[in-house]
Structures are given as C-alpha cells and as structure tokens.
Structure 1
Amino acid sequence: MDFLKSAVASAIAKGSSFPYSLGDRVDISDSIWTLHNATKRDDGSACSVFTFEIASNKSRLPLAKNAVRKSRTLRHPGVIKVLDTIETETSLYIITERVVPLSWHVKRRSLSEETSKWGLHTVASTLKFINDDASSVHGVVRASSVFASESGEWKLGGFDVLSSMNDEDAVIYTYASLVPDAARYTPPEVVKGGWETIKRHPLTAVDAYGLGILIYEVFNGGFSGGDQVGRTTNIPPTMQASYKRLCAANPKLRLSPKHFVEQGKKHGGFFQTPLIRLTDDIDNLGLKNDAEREEFIKGLDELSDDFPEEFFKMKVLPELLKSVEYGGGGPRVLGAILKIGSKLAQEEFNSKLTPVIVRLFANPDRALRVCLLDNLPLMIDYLPQKTVNDKIFPQMTSGFTDVAPVVREQTVKAVLSVIGKLSDRTINGDLLKFLARTANDEQPGIRTNTTICLGKIAKNLGPSSRSKVLIAAFTRSLRDPFVHARNAGLLSLAATMEFFTEEDCATKVLPVLCPSLLDKERMIRDQANKTLDVYLQRIRKFSSTMPDTVLPTSPSPDAPKDDARIGTSKDKSWAGWAISSFTNKLTAANGEIEPSANGAKPVEAEPVRSASVPRPTKPSPLSKVTPRPTAQPLGHRSMSEQIVPTTNDSEDADDVYEAWGAMDDDGGEKVDDPFSPVATTVFSTLGSPLASQPTPVPYDDGGEPDFAGWLAAQSKAKKTLPKGLSKTTTAAASPSRSSSHHSTTRSQSNATVKKIETKPKEEDLDDWGDAWD
C-alpha cells in the first residue's frame, strides 16, 4: 500500500499541472495523512505537502475534508502555516511551510527542558486561542498533531476533528472515534458517555486533558496508555501541580489551557524563562521604548547554547539586525547577533551577516566599534578575505589613531584576528605604519600590546624587512620605562629568534640585551638571562661550524721570523695580546723596500744596538758622487714627532672608527677612542723603527728606548765633560749621528747651536720625560 501511495505521489509530482515537486516521504504516525518534503516549482522554496489518498481511505474522508476546510480559515502564529490546498478526485493536498513531526524529537528525547517549556507554552497559548477566541475544540491534542517549523517553533496541526461548539453537526461528535489510536488519548468522560457528552462539560475539558498527555510525552519520550496520565515522572517540579490539574478525572476540575498559561507566567512560574520572554518581546522590539529595550537586552545575556538554533537564525536574528543597525540596539545586541551567527553555515553568514558587519564598522559609535573588535574572533572565519582586506580593515585603521585609548588598544589586539585575511602589501605597508605609531603610544599598555602583536605576526611580515622591523621594535621596547613593555620585548626576541641571521644575533641583538641583565627589576633580569642563553646557544652552535681561519697561507713558510721584544705570543700579561698583535704585523713583513723616487740607493740598516749607544762612523762612499741633500736644521726631535712609515693599517682603522661610531649612535656614552689616530701614532712609535731625515735611517732596534742607559749617560756627562766644552756654552751634538756626518752637517749649515745645561734643575728632577709628551 505504501508503495502504491508513493507511486501515485510521484505520478502527480511529474504532472505539469501540479505546482509542487514532491521529495522524500516523512514518517508520521497516528495520522490519516502522509507527509512529503517538497519544493515550489516557481521559486524552489521549501515546503511540505500533506497527502490524503481517497481511494484507500474512504471512511476517513470527512476527517480529511474537515482538516482542509479548517486549515484555510484558521490563522494563528501557533498554527501550522498553510500555503495552499488542492482537492482532486483521487487526493487531497495541504501545502504548508516546511515542517517535521515533533514525535521525531520526542522519541529521541533530544529536547532540553528550556526548549520543551518554550514549545509547550506555544501550544497552550494556541489552544487558548482555539477554545476562547474561536469557541472550538481541537479534540486530538497529542505529539503527532504538533510539528516543528524550520525556525524550531512548535506549530499545532491535526485539524481532522477541529469543530466549533456552535455547530450542531460538528464533525467531532460523529467522526472523532475514527482518528487513529483514538482510544489511548480519549478522556475518561468520553470513554463512558461518548463524544456527545462534551456538550455538558466545559468546552476546554477535552483539550486540557490532551495538553496534560502532551506534557507527559515531551518529558518522558512517549505515552503508552491511560494509566500514565497524571504521573509526575520527569515533570519539572514547578509544573507538577498545574500538570496534575490538567489531567484530573473530573472534567469540571480540570485547569483550562488559558489558566495553565497564566499560572506559568506568574512571578517565578514555570513559563518565566529567558527564551519565552525573548519570544514575547522579539516581534515588538522596534516599538519598545528605551527602558523596555534595555530590559530586553539584559535578557539576551541569559541565553544559553541549548536553545533551538533554528529559531534564533530565522526569527531572532533578523529582528536583532534591524535593531542594532537602525534601532540603537547597542553592543549587547551585537554580542547576541555574533553568538547566533557563529552557528550559521558559511552561505547563511555571508548572505545575512556580512553586509551588516561591513556597515557597522563604518559606524562612529565607539562602544559598537569595541564590541565588533572584541568579537572578531567569532566571525573572522566566515568573512571572505577580499571583504576583510578591502572593506573592513580600511575602516579599522581609524581605531589606531582614535583619541580613546580603549579603541586603540582593542584595534591592536584585533590585528591578530585579521592578519590571516590581509594581503602582503597591506601588512608590510599600512599595518606596519600604524603599529609603528602605537609602539610609541603614550599608554604603556598599548605599547606593550604592540610589541606582543609584532611578535605574534612576525611570520606574516615580508622577509626583506622583517628582521629590521622586529629588531628595531623589540630593542626600543627594552628601553621602555614600563616594566611589562620591557618584558614583552625580551619574550618577543626569544620567540622570533628564527627570523634573524647569526650576524644579526651577534651584532644587533646581543649588545642591546646585555643592559637588561642589570635591570632594576628582577623579573627583567631573569628573562634577560633566559633570552641571552637562547641567543648564545645559537651563536655558539653556528661558530663551531666556521673554519679556523680565512687568511691565505704564507708563500715562504721557511722564511725566518724575528721575535718581538714585547707583546709576543708568550706574553701572558693582560695587555700583551693587544701589543703583540701590532708588533707581529711589523715583524712578519717580507720582501724588499722599493727604491725612492729620485733613484737613491737605499741605506743599509744598522745592526741592532741600544738606544743609548752612539752610532758608529761610516765612511762616505767615494766611488760615486751624489748631490748632497738640503741641509737640515740641527735640533732635538721628540719621539712623538718622529716620522712613522705609512702602512695599509689606516684603512682598517677607518673601519674601526665607523663601528665604534655606529655603537655610539645608539645612545651609549662617548669615551676616548683608544684606536684614534693619535693613539695609533704612539703605538707605532713604540713598536716600529723611527725615521730621522729624508733618508730613512734606523734609530734603534724597534724596542723600547733604553731609559736606564740614557740616564747613565746623562749622569756621566755631569761628571766628565768632553774635551773642548765649557760649563756655560758647548756645541750641541746629536748622539744619534755618526761623527763624520755630524762634522759635515755642522760645517755646511748655519743652524743655531743649542746650549745644554749640565746642571740639573732643582725644582724638577723628572723633566726628562718632557721630550715624550
């Protein structure tokens, strides 16, 4: 028989005259109707089709026709919405909104207590309308007569025996017993006296009894027979007293649906729930004054996740959107909207919420902006990337410069939510500019959050500028007077180390980390030690892979090497390494000195001698006459004025200057540079041969001046003067010249003879050192 029904339905559905396309059959029990999901051919909208086959069930045709007739005339929010009715010679059709039988949820026991109370309130209010306003009796109130719409609302159907008590020939009197499984739900007075007896009892008695059975079914998952009527198993305690009165055996003592609703609505009653209050207020939200709207908004905070999602999607959400966009609903309403929106499918969200959210970001209300930013994590996954990058983020940027600190702070925090939907150009352009501004904000919390934000979005920054931006931002935060900002900088440096090269770690990060080791706050010192250890481990690991040296091998490894007198590799003093490095460069020089520009033959170097011993006289070469050089004035040249041979070390010194200057630019104190040109000259004097006149003649052996020998010579000069010298005036003689060269120079020059005082000065016995100044 079921196969036949399906075949007939399919044949009708294929007919060109039938405006609906039938789909799957929906199982519905205790009914004379078969239910199909369907769609309207004109627009493809969803609907349901109740079908009654006349040929297979002629005895119940009056019930079907009564249902069709009552469905056309009865209109109420709690009644199933009828779109159309069609009668043919073979079938009757009632086309309604898309519904599913409530018995599905009842058998699965998938209804929460809150949802069950909300649905029972709807059914009781609908029965109140039918009994009091329409003066009618439904007659078949049970779970199989109640349906759930797409919005989750409970709708009353099953109008097979719905009759007006003003009608003497009402269907209920004659055909009510033909309803499937009628005996199980029939009131006791009808069982005894038949349906005609309802005329002698209150009009509401039959439907009140059926409402009591429906309550038991909803909370217990079904109803088996009359012996369960009145039991309070699983019935909410606050509802038990009213429930018992609905199931009273005496019809005159039964509580009518109207009074049942009134008792539930009393203060502390079982119908005083957030969901029921929301339902009562949602339709008139736009008409409420400020106080009523505020009360409604408070009720939104009590909503929980076990409420029917469909109801909020289709009924509550549209009204809330109207309120927040045009009626001044405020942030609380927006919070409820986003909570509901998080349960929508992607297509539903884009069609219902995305356009509104884009418009709300342009709203100047700061409280609304903060609420949007707080709830971005709930909706960012639903928003398309192009919408976020092109429409939402440009509106967000005003928050970076807002005068209200809370707006600026929430905008910085919201970057973490939208960063995945922004293009590289937006991130490395506009976003970094605004974050650079908030990094210098007057509010320490905003500076701290900016540092944290940069650390978390480091992987999204462009590789070309990432290390420069991060190092500049984090090192700046290490100098922040706010302790948590400094701590955030240390944590961010540790978290983003992978984005820096080893050279950056050693030359840019470590130098700025070290001052934090002596921070006044222990928290900063501890974190600085941890961060420093992380960087040192990386640098040590990298340095272990580097070659021992990059210097080329010596071309003549067998060449003899002179040992330096001071600063050798065996010198273990604290300053030995510095001087040895310099002297070793000089002693390691190989090759020959090129001739001078005028072609003069280089002068042979003298053998090593002490500084206090006069040079021996050398015979002048007679085989070849050369022009004598211009006479030089005779005088005493201090050690610091001696000519130092020029080497390529000046270029290296320039690099050192630049490096130290760059470090000073970072805010360090200026100190005397030990590698300044003056200091370099002094070191060169101590470690290299001194030049005398245009022809380079070695002055000594390249070591320290023999101070002891010099003093001994001075002391001897006081006791025994050379022959021909008086105590008052003597000819100046340079101990560094040979006798022949000394006489030749003295005969050809008019240089002033310097007087030497042989008597030591009493006031200053240490003036011998003045020549080194």
Structure 2
Amino acid sequence: MNFLSKTLSTLTGTSIPYTFKEKIENQSVWTLYDGVNPKDNSSVTIFEINLRDQNILQSNYDQLAKNTFKKSKLIKFPELINTIDFIENDNNLYIITEPVVPLSVYLNSHNINNDSKILGLYNIANSLEFLNLKCNYVHGNVNVNSIYVNKEGDWKLFGFEFLTNLQSDPDQPIYRFSRYLAIFNNSLPDDVLNQGIDVIRPFPIKFDSYCFGKLIEVLFDNRINDKSLSSLVRRLTNPKINLRITIDKFLADGASIFKNNLLIEITNDLKDLKFKNNDEKLNYFKYNLANYFDSDSHVEFPPGFLENRLLPELILQYSIIEKFKPSVNSTNDDIIKNQESLAILLNYILKFGNSLGADEFNKSIKPIIFKTFASTDRSIRLILLNHLNNFERNLSESDVQSRIFYNLISGFQDTNFMIRETTLTSINLVIDKISVKQINQDLLKILAKSQMDPKPSIRVNTLILIIKIQSKIYNNSKNNVLITALSKSLKDTFTPCKMTALQGFEKLITEFSLEEICTKILGQLAISLMDKQSVKVRNQARKVFQLYLDAVETNAKNLPVVEEDEELEEKEFFKKFAPNVESEESNDIIKETNSNSGFSFGWNVVNKLVSTSVLEGQLNNDFNNSNVDLTTSVDQLSLGKPNQSSMDNSSNAKLSNVNTKETNGWDDNFDDVDDGWGMDEVKDEVETDKIIKKPVTRKVQDRAKKPGGLKLGKDKDKKPISNLRLNLSVDDDSWGGSDDW
C-alpha cells in the first residue's frame, strides 16, 4: 500500500497528509479513493481532481469541481455528506470526507430491500427540503451518481456541481454549467428538453422534485408496489410544472409511509438518543430496542447499520454501566438491575459485533469478551457461551489458551446444569485452539468427573468430546484413558451413552493392541451383548464384538503351531531342586501319575516322590520341615524342651496331607476344583476357621533372674510359654482381594 500511495502522489504531482488506498468506481467529475488519516488511522474518502488535466479543462469540469469545492465549505447538514478537510493547490483540488461509496456501487454490491430503499429516500428528501426551503438552494443533480452511502448505511446527498443559491449566487452554475455534464440530460422533463434549463426559473426547486421522482423510479425499477408511494411519484414527475409537488409536500403527504417503516423509526430514535441522559438511553436499549428484533417485526437492516451505527452506542452505554461500583447506599435491587442491564447490552454487542471486520472486532469487541469471561454472573456467562460459535473465528490460539480457557472450564463446576452443558458444547467449538498440555493436564480431569454428571446428555457429549480429542492425549496414557472412558459409558443407564461408547470402540479399533483387546475390551463388550434395556445396544455390541474378535483371530493365525512340552516347567523344577533323581525314575513316576489322573501333577505324585527312598536328602528334609503343625502340643513348642515335631515319615506325611487340604483347597480328588465362582474356597475357609479357632494355650517359662537359670517359685509347675507369635487372619485369601480377579 505504501508503494501505491507514493505512486499516486507522483501521478497527482503533489502530496497531501492522507494515505491513498484503492480507487473507487465513480461517475462524476471527481476521482475517488479510499484513504486513511495518519493522525488517528481513521478511514476517509478522498475526492480529487487535477486542474491541469487538458481533458478536464476542455470539458469545463474544473468549473464544476470548483463549485462543489466552494459550496461544500458553506453548507453543513446531518443528511448531507460529512466533509472533513479541503486541500487546494495550483494543480489539484481535494475534498476529504467520511468514508463513503457511490450509491450505484452500493446497490450493485448489496441486495437492498424496499424498506431500506425507503429509508434512504427519506434521508435524501430531508436533505433536499433543507437545501430548497431552509437554504434557498436548488441542487439540480439528484441521481444515483450524486448520492453516497457511508459505513452506517446512511444515504448522503453530495454532487454539488450545479448547486445554486437562488438569491445570491453570482455564478448561477445550474444555468451556466449544466450543459457541460453529459449525464445531466438523461432524465429531464419535457419542458426543459424543449425550452432549455432556463424554463425552470419560475419554480427552480420543482426541478429537484422531478429529479427526485425519477430517482425513485430507478430504484424500484418502475415497479412500485405501494400505491401511496406510486401516487406520490406521479405527482413528483407530473409533466405540468404547476401541478408538480415540491419535496416538502412529498414528505407531508407521505408521512404515513414513513411512519410505518421500522427502519425510519429506529433511525429517528437513535438520533434522539444523543440528546437524552444515560438513564433514558439505558431504558431505551433495555425495553424498546427489542421491538425491532422480535419475530413479528421482521426488520431487515441495511448493511452497516447495526454494526457501525447501533453497536457504538451499545458499547458506549455498556462501558458506562460497567463502571458502576456498589456503594453503602446501593440496594440489592440496584445491583440486580445493573447486572440485568449489562447482560442485555452484552447480548446485543455480541450479536451485532459478529459482522465486524477482524481489525474492528479486535479493537472493539475482544476486550469486552476477555473481561466478561471472568465474570461469575450466570446470565453473563450464558450469553458469552451462546454467542461463542459466532465469534470463535476471531479468537486466536493465544486468545483461547491464555485469556479464555481457564475461565471457560470453570463452568463445569457450576451447579446449574445449563451452564455445565453449554460449557461442554463451547469446549467443542474451541478444542482445536486448546494446547495439548491443557487438554492432558486440565481438561481430561474435568471430563472424567463430567462423565458421571447427573444429566444424561452431558455424559453423552462428554464421551463424544473424549473421542474427538483422542489424538491429542499423551501416548503413554491414551489407550488407558479411552478404554476406561468407553467402558464406563457401556455401563451407563442411558442408552444413547451406551451407543456412543460402542460407536467409539468401533471407530478406535485400530488404536488398541491385541493384548488390550483380549484383556480389557472383549470382556466389556461381552457384557453389552446381554443388555436388558435396549435391543439396539445388543445388536451394536454384537457387531463391535465380532470386529474385535475377528481382529484377534486374524492375528492368532500368525502365531507358531508348535506345542511346547507341557511338563517342561515341572521337569525344570525337579532338575533344579532334586538333581540326584535319575531321569528314568522321574519319568516313570510322571508317566504313572499321568495314567492315573486327568492332570499332569497333583499331591499324589508329590507324596510319592517324597516317600521314595531315592529322594531322601535335602528335598525330603525341606518338605518335612516346611509346615508348622498347629495341633502340636504346648510341650512340643516349648523353648525349654526339645522339639517333638520330628515324627516318623508316615505320621508326618499324614499330617502334611491334612494341613495341605485345609489351607489350599486342593485334595486328591480333582472333581472338587474351584469352578471360578469361589464356592469351594468359601468351604475351605470355614473348615480352616474351625481348626484355627481351637483354644490353644502356649506358655513359656520365664527365664530365671540368674543367667542361664529358670525362675523358681510357685510358677515352677506351669508349662513354658512359646515366644512364637502367630498372627493368623482367617479372612485373608492371599490373592489381594476379589477385585483383582
């Protein structure tokens, strides 16, 4: 753009304190450019004409431009174009105005409805009335090329090339210069075409009336559906000048048309607001403004009206109310009223601010969003969340991560389910702008709790979000998180939650390993095969279960087909702990055992191996001394007497068999093996309990006070007490609890 600015300055032969931007299409004596005022970086429109250009001189456009330049300085009116600056030098004339576009360009760029057109015509009629009656001017150039539209959507009258004061203008440009402009001849009344422009001298302002009527016909393409307006247009363009009405008559007779136009009504309201105090303005925004946005009014505002005309007023009023600080004299009603006002204004600000450009949004709306996200007021928070889908596109990753995220997720802790649910929906909108660290360290913890929310739809949407963010979960915990979340939802009482979990398992099947499928997933899916609430769940579970089972079977085909030696581990044991046993004898024992039992090994073969003379030695000694006989007499356990636990082999073997059966639940008959439900284990615990609960007195004589001696006296006949303390618990099954199995 700087290059363009320098180029334009070179072409025009001078420089001005404004930056030139793009050229604007225009049909007038002026060349138009978008521009910027460097002082405040505000937008402007630059009207330029080169007085040294020979084509302009030959066309006498310089005279028309000079008349515009001169009259623009003299006349100021709200409905006329707002001029900011005038620059004149030997080569050029410049008129700097508010940013505008020609009406012809505006109509081609936007689809303008009839109500907006009537609003625009109403503004132009008021401008003409001011010029004709208040200033005693005839405009003489009313058409689509002399009207401009500003950012607010207001139609502004300009094109002062022929503007003539009917009493004190020595140049009389309407009569002297009008023939220089070719487009002037496009829409002239018959009397002017036949007799020339001087024919309007008796009633010059009726010439403006005629041009205005022709403008209406052009705007409505000669198809005016409103009968009242159509009648007024015919009176404006009456061929007989004495029957032609003036602009003030048009406004008076068309009052009913303008009164029923809601756009004109709200425009007039906003004009009047400038002269009202803050309380009156606030009441208008709270109670009157909503009338233009309800479903019955069907008001369609022109482009730029809401965001550039109404929005600044709302932001100004919001900033005033926001500064309110409760004082000692403030009542609770005052505070509530203030919060209600903020909520209403914020709703409008976010609604209209969405149509702003990125730069203007960042400047005007973002600061409000950041500040209000920290608010604890539920109405404020709900409005922010409801509008998030509209303004999210204007938020950067940095905005979301540093200014919004932590305030946003605080909504999950709200006791109001609407806030929690809307917060969850909002997280989905900005999830791509949340950092991986925030997802794993903050969001997942919250979602784990949200998955148990009392509201069913929140539980469903939580699972959907977990599935959506699975690619951002840390790899070392990803599968555990997914399996846990999906499995938990399979047990949910809400059918859509179960269906979502099954769909999640189906979608994520490639994420899980075969070990995870076999040990963690298939069992969970199998439970859903017998779901009692929904046949849809059972059918979907069957489909997903089969997918996972097929995946396992497909990979199982690649496993080796060679069978390992079933007794390899048992052989390795005896090889390690009974190295003196000859392999042939050991194999004979194993073969004999295999022929007598459906299992490879049991306590039969162990007893036989122990009692075999071949195995006498360390193994036999270890086996005989491995168990403490709980039925041994007190005398045998006394430390002061020799240990009587060394019995003959047959008695010891018998005792060992009894103890083994009582504590392990196994016996020689394998038909009583635990069936997986734990019933045999319960039986064994009861039998063991009977043995352990036998009253056993274990006393050991106190040592004598003298070293090496025994304490003498009345206790000498008491049996010694054992120092062995057995802390046995009947309830401990040694497996770490049933939860592990």
Using the size of structure 2 for normalisation, the TM-score is 0.68
Residue 641 of structure 1 corresponds to 658
Shift of 1:365: 3.1
Shift of 1:211: 1.6
Question: Could you list the per-position Cα deviations for residues 113-162 of structure 1 after superposition, in whole angstroms to 9, with x for gaps in the alignment?
Answer: 45544433332332233334434322210111112335554321111222
Shift of 1:541: 2.9
SS in 1 for 2:105: helix
Distance 1:190 1:135 in 2: 21
SS in 1 for 2:483: helix
Shift of 1:81: 1.9
Residue 242 of structure 1 corresponds to 232
Distance 2:219 2:559 in 1: 78
Match runs of 1:622-701 below 5 Å = 641=658, 671-672=678-679
Work out whether residues 173 and 196 of structure 1, in 8 Å CA contact, stay in contact via their aligned partners in 2.
no
Shift of 1:480: 3.0
Distance 1:637 1:553 in 2: 30
Work out whether residues 63 and 160 of structure 1, in 8 Å CA contact, stay in contact via their aligned partners in 2.
yes
Distance 1:259 1:361 in 2: 54
Answering whether residue 375 of structure 2 is matched by residue 363 of structure 1, we say: yes
SS in 2 for 1:47: strand
Residue 281 of structure 2 corresponds to 288
Letter in 1 for 2:440: N
Answering whether residue 185 of structure 2 is matched by residue 183 of structure 1, we say: yes
Work out whether residues 438 and 450 of structure 1, in 8 Å CA contact, stay in contact via their aligned partners in 2.
yes
Match runs of 1:355-754 below 5 Å = 355-522=367-534, 523-548=536-561, 551=564, 562=591, 579-580=598-599, 595-597=615-617, 641=658, 671-672=678-679
Distance 2:226 2:507 in 1: 55
SS in 2 for 1:375: helix
Match runs of 1:84-483 below 5 Å = 84-105=85-106, 111=112, 113=114, 115-167=116-168, 169=170, 171-172=172-173, 174-175=175-176, 177-181=178-182, 182-191=184-193, 195=197, 198=200, 200-201=202-203, 204-220=205-221, 232-233=222-223, 239-258=229-248, 260-261=250-251, 266=256, 269=257, 272=260, 275-282=263-270, 284=273, 287-290=280-283, 293-300=286-293, 309-323=303-317, 326=320, 334=346, 337-338=349-350, 340-483=352-495
Work out whether residues 358 and 394 of structure 2, in 8 Å CA contact, stay in contact via their aligned partners in 1.
yes
SS in 1 for 2:161: coil
Distance 1:344 1:275 in 2: 20
CA separation of 1:365 and 1:125: change in aligned 2, threshold 3 A: farther
Distance 1:399 1:483 in 2: 26
CA separation of 1:14 and 1:537: change in aligned 2, threshold 3 A: farther
SS in 2 for 1:381: helix
Bigger Rg over Cα: 1
Distance 1:167 1:677 in 2: 125
Letter in 1 for 2:14: G
Work out whether residues 593 and 605 of structure 2, in 8 Å CA contact, stay in contact via their aligned partners in 1.
no
Letter in 2 for 1:373: L
Residue 33 of structure 1 corresponds to 30
Residue 325 of structure 2 corresponds to none
Distance 1:336 1:289 in 2: 13
Work out whether residues 300 and 336 of structure 1, in 8 Å CA contact, stay in contact via their aligned partners in 2.
no
Question: Could you list the per-position Cα deviations for residues 661-702 of structure 1 after superposition, in whole angstroms to 9, with x for gaps in the alignment?
Answer: xxxxxxxxx7426699899x9xxxxxxxxxxxxxxxxxxxxx
SS in 2 for 1:441: coil
SS in 1 for 2:463: helix
CA separation of 1:92 and 1:325: change in aligned 2, threshold 3 A: closer
SS in 1 for 2:145: helix
Distance 1:400 1:27 in 2: 54
Distance 2:409 2:255 in 1: 49
CA separation of 1:600 and 1:114: change in aligned 2, threshold 3 A: closer
Answering whether residue 42 of structure 2 is matched by residue 48 of structure 1, we say: no
Work out whether residues 513 and 528 of structure 1, in 8 Å CA contact, stay in contact via their aligned partners in 2.
yes
Structure having the higher helix fraction is 2
**What are structure 2's unaligned runs of at least 5 residues?**
322-339, 572-582, 622-645, 668-672, 689-741
Shift of 1:240: 3.0
CA separation of 1:582 and 1:12: change in aligned 2, threshold 3 A: same
Distance 2:112 2:78 in 1: 21
Distance 1:536 1:37 in 2: 68
Question: Could you list the per-position Cα deviations for residues 42-76 of structure 1 after superposition, in whole angstroms to 9, with x for gaps in the alignment?
Answer: 56654312315277158565543332222112223
Work out whether residues 116 and 302 of structure 2, in 8 Å CA contact, stay in contact via their aligned partners in 1.
yes
Distance 1:342 1:633 in 2: 95
Distance 1:239 1:421 in 2: 54
Letter in 1 for 2:188: T
Distance 1:432 1:171 in 2: 80
Letter in 2 for 1:536: L
Q: CA RMSD in A?
A: 4.8
Answering whether residue 35 of structure 2 is matched by residue 15 of structure 1, we say: no
Work out whether residues 70 and 162 of structure 1, in 8 Å CA contact, stay in contact via their aligned partners in 2.
yes
Letter in 1 for 2:541: A
Distance 1:301 1:539 in 2: 60
Q: In the comparison of the two structures, how many residue pairs are matched?
A: 606
Between the two structures, name the one with larger relative contact order (CA 8 Å, sep ≥ 6): 1
Distance 2:620 2:101 in 1: 118
Distance 2:613 2:470 in 1: 58
**What are structure 1's unaligned runs of at least 5 residues?**
1-5, 221-231, 569-578, 602-628, 651-655, 661-669, 682-773
Work out whether residues 567 and 583 of structure 1, in 8 Å CA contact, stay in contact via their aligned partners in 2.
no
> Which has the larger displacement, 439-448 or 350-359?
439-448
CA separation of 1:58 and 1:378: change in aligned 2, threshold 3 A: closer
Distance 1:491 1:343 in 2: 38
Question: Could you list the per-position Cα deviations for residues 617-661 of structure 1 after superposition, in whole angstroms to 9, with x for gaps in the alignment?
Answer: xxxxxxxxxxxx9657889959963979x99x99xxxxx99xx8x
Letter in 2 for 1:672: M
Distance 1:426 1:7 in 2: 48
Letter in 1 for 2:292: G
Question: Could you list the per-position Cα deviations for residues 205-244 of structure 1 after superposition, in whole angstroms to 9, with x for gaps in the alignment?
Answer: 2222112222233344xxxxxxxxxxx3476777433333
Letter in 2 for 1:242: L
SS in 2 for 1:288: helix
Letter in 2 for 1:19: P
SS in 2 for 1:160: helix
Work out whether residues 212 and 236 of structure 2, in 8 Å CA contact, stay in contact via their aligned partners in 1.
yes
Letter in 2 for 1:240: S
CA separation of 1:521 and 1:641: change in aligned 2, threshold 3 A: same
